[in-house]
């Protein structure tokens, strides 16, 4: 972790510390890297023309610097949109974060191949098994696993990644000084110990709020080449990620359940997506391997073929 933050990062944080200024407005004002004090004064001038109080913004500057210091003290790095090491995948989505906090090894954010695995917090036994096996198979095929560390499908996907000795990225909806849910603190530590990272667009001290979970869903799809939905009803948080994936032109697949599981409410979203041809159906390991190969081809990347026993077995 680089224990410095760019002037650009400080400027964006300062703007967002002013009440009423969000990431979109901050990025409109800070539309190029900040190199020196003159650039900072130009930002204040530009913000004033946007009816942002100059004195409030000047007062917010040291607060932003203190935020960065507290983050570094907690082992949390910070990078912003105009920095060279900002994840390229996120730079290209319609609504990118202005600032990204991370804990752990950030290389997974720029991995050649990344798969987001998402789904309900209340999966069936079948969904739990598929989430775990899909993550392990994708790791063996050379993919980083992206998910949200929530209960249910996220937990089983991260667990499959860890047990396959893969690199995982957990996208959080709060400051990285805490882990939510608390039940996944050990799993979070295992992800970090395995060379993965936790990421969030929220500073330390920020507690989970409902809207933040929906907003973080765009980062799960944004950090990936494609999204695999394990289980979801027709409404719910997973469908936020589905919509973001479509907006971001990410490849989308979902588990196609055996007939015996299709009466469960948490499979109805999968059935609807397949019927509407929103998502590619994945009924077994062979179909998953084909989807992963498609992701590599779309991105112009090459990697392991995935033709191992686990990638071709049934779920």
Residue 127: CB partners within 8 Å, gap ≥ 6? 119, 120, 152, 153, 156, 230, 231, 255, 266, 267
The answer to whether residues 256 and 151 belong to one domain is yes
Nearest CA-CA partner of 123 in 79, 154, 169: 154
Nearest CA-CA partner of 308 in 169, 168, 164: 164
The answer to whether residues 164 and 276 belong to one domain is yes
Asked whether residue 206 carries a pLDDT value surpassing 50, the answer given is yes
Residues 109-142 pLDDT 10s: 999 999 999 999 999 999 999 999 999 999 999 9
Choose the final residue of a domain: 54, 86, 118: 86
- Residue 176 covered by a domain: yes
- Residue 37 covered by a domain: yes
Alpha-carbon distance of 210 to 173, in angstroms, equals 9
Choose the final residue of a domain: 55, 86, 117: 86
The answer to whether residues 64 and 125 belong to one domain is no
Residue 218: CB partners within 8 Å, gap ≥ 6? 93, 95, 240, 241, 244, 248
- Residue 100 covered by a domain: no
Mean pLDDT, all residues of the chain: 94
Dihedral of alpha carbons 286, 116, 83, 50, sign: positive
**3-state class of 10 per DSSP?**
helix
- pLDDT for the residue 251: 98
Q: Residue 311 — very low, low, confident or very high, per pLDDT cuts 50/70/90?
A: very low
Rg of the chain's alpha carbons, rounded to an integer?
A: 20
User: What average pLDDT does the segment 232-241 reach?
Assistant: 95
Asked whether residue 66 carries a pLDDT value surpassing 90, the answer given is yes
User: What average pLDDT does the segment 173-178 reach?
Assistant: 97
The answer to whether residues 126 and 250 belong to one domain is yes
Residues in the chain: 315
The answer to whether residues 254 and 305 belong to one domain is yes
H/E segment holding residue 115: strand 114-118
- Residue 135 covered by a domain: yes
Choose the final residue of a domain: 86, 120, 138: 86
The answer to whether residues 62 and 116 belong to one domain is no
SS (H, E, C) 207-240: CCCHHHHHHHHHHHHHCCCEEEECCCCCCCHHHH
What the block records as the tokens of 84 is: 């060279």
Asked whether residue 308 carries a pLDDT value surpassing 70, the answer given is no
Q: Residue 309 — very low, low, confident or very high, per pLDDT cuts 50/70/90?
A: very low
- pLDDT for the residue 3: 65
Q: Residue 313 — very low, low, confident or very high, per pLDDT cuts 50/70/90?
A: low
Residue with tokens 């998502």: 279
The number of distinct structural domains making up the chain is 2
Asked whether residue 5 carries a pLDDT value surpassing 60, the answer given is yes
The answer to whether residues 159 and 273 belong to one domain is yes
Alpha-carbon distance of 101 to 305, in angstroms, equals 33
Residues 246-305 pLDDT 10s: 999 999 999 999 999 999 999 999 999 999 999 999 999 999 999 999 999 987 766 555
Residue with tokens 């050990």: 186
- pLDDT for the residue 134: 98
User: What average pLDDT does the segment 188-200 reach?
Assistant: 98
The whole domain housing 225 covers 107-312
CA angle at 32 for the pair 27 and 37, rounded to the nearest 5°: 105
The answer to whether residues 230 and 307 belong to one domain is yes
- pLDDT for the residue 38: 86
- The CATH number for 136's domain is 3.40.50.450
The answer to whether residues 44 and 171 belong to one domain is no
The answer to whether residues 80 and 122 belong to one domain is no
Q: Residue 4 — very low, low, confident or very high, per pLDDT cuts 50/70/90?
A: confident
Nearest CA-CA partner of 27 in 36, 42, 16: 16
Alpha-carbon distance of 171 to 200, in angstroms, equals 6
CA angle at 115 for the pair 264 and 187, rounded to the nearest 5°: 75
- Residue 13 covered by a domain: yes
Residue 167 CA from chain centroid, whole number: 14
- pLDDT for the residue 37: 85
The answer to whether residues 76 and 165 belong to one domain is no
- Residue 124 covered by a domain: yes
- The pairing of strands 251-255 and 144-147 is unpaired
- Residue 95 covered by a domain: no
Asked whether residue 171 carries a pLDDT value surpassing 90, the answer given is yes
Asked whether residue 1 carries a pLDDT value surpassing 90, the answer given is no
User: What average pLDDT does the segment 180-208 reach?
Assistant: 97
Residues 155-166 pLDDT 10s: 999 999 999 999
The answer to whether residues 199 and 288 belong to one domain is yes
**304 compared with 67, residue with greater pLDDT:** 67
Q: Tell me the β-bridge partners of 117.
A: 228
- Residue 241 covered by a domain: yes
């Amino acid at each position: 972790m680089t224990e410095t933050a760019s002037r650009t990062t400080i400027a964006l944080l300062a703007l967002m510390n002013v009440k009423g200024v969000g990431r979109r407005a901050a990025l409109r004002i800070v539309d190029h890297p900040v190199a020196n004090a003159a650039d900072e004064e130009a930002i204040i001038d530009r913000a004033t023309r946007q009816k942002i109080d100059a004195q409030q913004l000047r007062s917010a500057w040291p607060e932003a610097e203190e935020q960065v210091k507290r983050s570094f003290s907690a082992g949390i790095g910070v990078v912003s949109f105009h920095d060279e090491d900002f994840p390229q995948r996120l730079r290209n989505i319609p609504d990118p974060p202005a600032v990204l906090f991370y804990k752990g090894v950030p290389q997974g954010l720029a991995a050649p191949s990344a798969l987001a695995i998402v789904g309900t917090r209340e999966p069936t036994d079948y969904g739990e098994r598929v989430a775990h096996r899909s993550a392990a198979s994708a790791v063996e095929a050379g993919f980083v696993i992206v998910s949200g560390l929530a209960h249910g499908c996220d937990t089983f996907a991260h667990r499959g990644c860890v047990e396959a000795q893969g690199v995982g990225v957990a996208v959080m909806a709060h400051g990285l000084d805490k882990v939510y849910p608390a039940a996944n603190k050990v799993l979070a530590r295992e992800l970090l110990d395995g060379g993965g990272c936790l990421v969030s667009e929220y500073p330390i001290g920020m507690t989970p709020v409902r809207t933040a979970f929906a907003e973080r869903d765009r980062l799960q799809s944004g950090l990936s080449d494609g999204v695999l939905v394990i289980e979801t009803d027709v409404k719910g948080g997973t469908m936020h990620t589905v919509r973001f994936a479509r907006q971001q032109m990410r490849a989308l697949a979902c588990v196609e359940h055996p007939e015996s599981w299709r009466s469960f409410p948490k499979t109805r979203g999968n059935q609807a997506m397949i019927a509407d041809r929103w998502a590619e159906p994945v009924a077994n390991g062979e179909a998953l391997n084909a989807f992963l190969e498609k992701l590599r081809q779309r991105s112009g990347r090459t990697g392991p073929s995935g033709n191992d026993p686990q990638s071709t077995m049934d779920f």
